[in-house]
Amino acid sequence: MKKKNVALLSGLLGLGGLFVTGVVVKKQLDEKRRQRILAEVRRFFDTFGTIAVLYINDFESTLDCVKGGVVFDDDVTFYFEYRQGEIDYREAE
C-alpha cells in the first residue's frame, strides 16, 4: 500500500514538472516571436525617421494580430497592426 502511494505521488510530481516545463517553453517561444515581430516593425518604420518609442498593446493584440504604436523624435505617431508579416499603419491624429 505504501509503495502505491509513493508511486502515485511520484507520478503526480512528474506530471506537474512536465506541465511547468511546457509552460516555460511556451513563454520562451512567445517571447522569441514577439522579439522577431518587434524587429520587423522597427526595420519597417526606420525609413520614416528616428524612432523614440515602439510599443505593443497587449490588451488589443491576439495570436494572429499584434497591435501597437511608434512614436518618432519629432512627435509624429503611427498606430500599426502586424498580421502574418504584413504591417498596416495609420498616423495618429
Classify 32 as helix, strand or coil. Answer: helix
Which domains, from first to last, does the chain contain? 2-91 (3.10.450.400)
Q: Residue 13: what pLDDT?
A: 66
Contact 72, 52 (CB under 8 A): yes
Q: For residue range 33-92, what is the model confidence (pLDDT) as tens digits?
A: 888 999 999 999 999 999 999 999 989 988 889 999 999 999 999 999 999 989 999 998
User: Which triple of cell numbers denotes residue 18?
Assistant: 512536465
Q: Residue 26: what pLDDT?
A: 81
Whether residue 5 has pLDDT greater than 90: no
Tell me the residue type at 33.
R
